[in-house]
A and B are shown apart, each in its own frame.
Chain A
Amino acid sequence: MKNRPVKVILWALFLGVLVFYPSLFGLYFTNIFVIFSIYALYATTFNYLLGYTGLLSFGHAMFFGIGGYGTAIALERIQGLPLLPAIIIGALAAVMLALILCPLLVRVSGTAFAMLTLAFGQLMHVLALKLRWLTGGEDGVGGFPIPPFHIPGVISLDITDPKKFYYFAMVVLALSMWVIWFFTKTPFGSIQTGIRDNPRRVEYLGFKLPHTKAVVFIISGGFAGVAGSIYALFQNLISADDAFGIGNSFAPIIMTVVGGIESFFGPIFGSAILSFIDELTSRYTERVEIVTGLILILVIMFAPKGFSGFLRFMRGKWLSPPNANPALEETK
């Protein structure tokens, strides 16, 4: 492949920036970067449903939220619980939720799927508010002990130090994103895109649609739970509005649309763009949503394929050799 050296250099550069980021940009921007990364994973799990399987969820926050609550409550209630099991508990809570909901959700698609996810998302919000003995109601769960990231004989990292938390979070989030990325490259990922394009044909080729969709749903929910879990650890707090609020369900939708639905990296770009805008506009106004909304409208009107679509367009214009694939050019 021709672009390989370029790709390797770019990735190496990116990795270098990631490693030295806290020293280069200071604590404030490091924390912004952590939030961005959490949402990048969250939006990626969302796009795993929408972009790869064609399922639009209006309640994705339920997985993010239950992951956050799972970790927070586990750390609050279980004395001396190490960090990794706490994160796994958060992710498993999200997987359990997905397992419970999927018998119903995998049998519908389109609007019905969107509305059902919206309903369950809201239900989780109400539960988080009402089950005060467990969730602390509106106050949420906060101030829980945060154990160090400890693997005996290998590493021990006190992640209450923001800089160390950054490295810890990057590893967990990047690893999660890599796993999802790999999943999209497997035969299962291939079948997923088939469901997106033509679910009926997938069935007639011999694949069992509900089961396949259930696995997609569980993977997506589980990793959204990981994102929520890291979020809870980062804030040392998880509250009902923050976790299960409708705004948190729409955040990944906006990120994915702005970043580009057709690309794996689209939601990551989207998360970066929106974090940047959020950071910039919040200095002048509290009404960040006005700017975000405006950008969403502009993207839908003028760049329906989002930022990654724009990138591809530019690359096609400037970088790719002409007549790379004559047959393809012809059909265009």
Chain B
Amino acid sequence: MNLLEIRGLYHDFSGLQVLFDVNLEVKEGERHAIIGPNGAGKTTLFNVITGSYRPPRGQIIFKGNDITGCKPHQLARLGIGRSFQITSSFSKLTAFQNIRMGILSKKGIRFNLVRNVDKMKEVTAETDEMLRRINLETEREIPAELLSYGKHRSLEVAMALSTEPELVMLDEPTAGMSKEETHYAIELIRRLTEGRTMLIIEHDMDVVFSLADRITVLHLGRVLATGSPQEIRENQQVKDAYLGETED
């Protein structure tokens, strides 16, 4: 069954066409990667799906409901969580407080003005559990802006997961990481998204081929191919447009 389905999606920025007739299906439980050269429209596609922009044409179906044009907070409540390519945490808040924000949202605690949040045991326990899973227990009280780059990126991914979304969308979670850090981050992501549906943008081909169940190649705003890692590897069009270049 398809958790997310995109039909004939177009998008443009005041005349500059970025997405052309994009069709995409993300099956429930699969890890789906989107790859493509810079400027292919990957992040724009993410932004359209998560409600940053309203597409001029096309349809986005999530769990069988048309969600085209929904606002970011509505989509978050429906079960879509996302991370950002450029780390987008609450910089002055501690790692703990960053994660807690997602836990509060998950629990639907939005306008509570009568309880001390530090004394909400369940919220604290769940937040600490998430911190433990991303190995950030010792950094619990450190403001996000003071975390090391790799840990800050882990926090970014954990925030996307903290609301326990049905569809996790990660926008280049390993951007700017060293080979070693990337390896660590991918293991972390693999562990955290166990049993969840994930849509991920990733540049590192090794990562993509080892992590993804299916891959969609985006090139100049169009879908070039979709298939299993094996199919993508053997696709001549993809080789010409993209993979060939990286091998040089």
In B63-121, the 8 Å CB interface with A consists of 71-73, 76-77, 81-82, 84, 88-93, 97, 100-102, 104-106, 109-118, 120
Identify the interface centre among A197, A202, A208, A325: most chain B CB within 10 Å of its CB.
Answer: A197
A residues near B246, Cβ cutoff 8 Å: none
The chain B residue with its CB closest to the CB of A193 is B93
Instruction: Give chain A interface residues in 197-236, CB to chain B under 8 Å.
Output: 197-198, 200-209, 212, 215
Q: Contact partner of B163 among A188, A197, A205, A215, CB < 8 A?
A: A205
**Cross-chain contact of A191 among B72, B110, B146 (Cβ < 8 A):** B110
B59: chain A residues at CB < 8 Å are: none
In the complex the two chains form, is A325's CB within 8 Å of B141's CB? yes
- Contact A201-B88, Cβ < 8 Å, known A186-B117, A327-B138: yes
Residue from the set A188, A193, A205, A209 with the largest chain B CB neighbour count within 10 Å: A205
Q: Is the CB of A186 within 8 A of B112?
A: yes
B6 on the interface (CB 8 Å rule)? no
- Is B159 an interface position by the 8 A CB rule? yes
* Shortest Cβ distance from B120 into A: residue: A187
Beta-carbon contact of A212 and B76 below 8 Å: no
Bound CA span A188–B142, Å: 21
Measured between beta carbons, the chain B residues less than 8 angstroms from A182 are 116
- Chain B residues 32 to 87 lying within 8 A of chain A, measured CB to CB, are 50, 71-73, 76-77, 81-82, 84
Using CB atoms, name the residue of chain A closest to B165.
A206
Q: A206 touching B77 by the CB < 8 A rule?
A: yes
Contact in complex: A187, B73 (CB < 8 Å): no
Interface size class of A (residues with CB under 8 A): 20 to 34
Task: Indicate if the CB atoms of B116 and A186 lie closer than 8 Å.
Answer: yes
Q: Once the chains are docked, how many angstroms separate the CA of A185 from the CA of B120?
A: 11
The residues of A that contact B110 with a CB separation of less than 8 Å are 187-188, 191, 207-208, 212
Residues on the A chain within 8 Å of B50, using CB: 204
Within 8 A of B (CB), among A173-204: 182-183, 185-191, 193-194, 196-198, 200-204
Interface check A331, CB cutoff 8 A = yes
Pairwise interchain contact A188-B141, C-beta atoms closer than 8 A: no
Q: Is A328 an interface residue (CB 8 A)?
A: yes
Closest to A196 in B: B92
Q: Is A315 an interface residue (CB 8 A)?
A: no
**For the complex, is B18 an interface residue (Cβ under 8 Å from A)?**
no
Residues on B with C-beta less than 8 A from A2 are none
B76, B90, B91, B147: residue with the most chain A Cβ atoms closer than 10 Å: B90
Are B159 and A201 touching (Cβ within 8 A)? yes
Number of A-B contacts defined by CB within 8 Å: 104
Partner among B82, B102, B146 whose Cβ is within 8 Å of the Cβ of A331: B146
Question: A194–B90 contact, CB under 8 A?
Answer: yes
Is the beta-carbon distance between B118 and A193 smaller than 8 angstroms? no
Interface centre among A198, A201, A209 (most CB of B within 10 A): A201
Interface membership of B5, Cβ < 8 A: no
Q: Across the two chains, which residue of chain B brings its CB closest to A326?
A: B138
Tally chain B residues at the interface, Cβ within 8 Å.
44
Q: Is the CB of A185 within 8 A of B76?
A: no
Instruction: Find out whether the CB atom of B88 lies under 8 angstroms from the CB atom of A200.
Output: yes
Contact partner, B146, options A193, A197, A207, A332, Cβ 8 Å:
A332
Q: Which residues of B contact A212 (CB under 8 A)?
A: 110-111
B72 touches A327 (CB 8 A): no
B139 at the interface (CB under 8 A from A): yes
A208 to B88, CA, bound (A): 18
B-facing residues in A146-190 (Cβ within 8 Å): 182-183, 185-190
Tell me whether B89 and A331 are in contact (CB under 8 A). no
Among B91, B116, B146, the residue within 8 A (CB) of A198 is: B91
**B105 adjacent to A207 (CB under 8 Å):** yes
- Decide: A197 and B105 in contact? CB cutoff 8 A: no
Q: Is B92 in contact with A185, judged by CB distance below 8 angstroms?
A: no
Q: With A188-B111, A198-B89, A198-B90 as given contacts, are A206 and B105 in contact (CB-CB < 8 Å)? A: yes
Q: Do A201 and B89 form a contact, CB below 8 Å, given A331-B147, A332-B146?
A: yes
Cβ contact within 8 Å between A205 and B159: yes
Within 8 Å by CB of A187, from B91, B117, B147, B148, lies: B117
Q: Which residues of A contact B102 (CB under 8 A)?
A: 205
Contacts of A194 in B (CB 8 A): 90, 93, 101
Q: How far is the CA of A198 from the CA of B163 in the complex (A)?
A: 17
Beyond the given A188-B111, A188-B112, A209-B73, please list 9 additional residue pairs across the A-B interface where CB-CB is below 8 A. Answer: A187-B110, A197-B93, A198-B88, A198-B91, A205-B105, A205-B159, A206-B73, A327-B141, A328-B146
Binding site for A on B (CB under 8 A): 50, 71-73, 76-77, 81-82, 84, 88-93, 97, 100-102, 104-106, 109-118, 120, 123, 138-139, 141-142, 146-148, 159, 162-163
The 8 closest A-B CB pairs, nearest first, are A206-B76, A197-B90, A206-B105, A187-B112, A331-B146, A203-B72, A187-B117, A205-B105
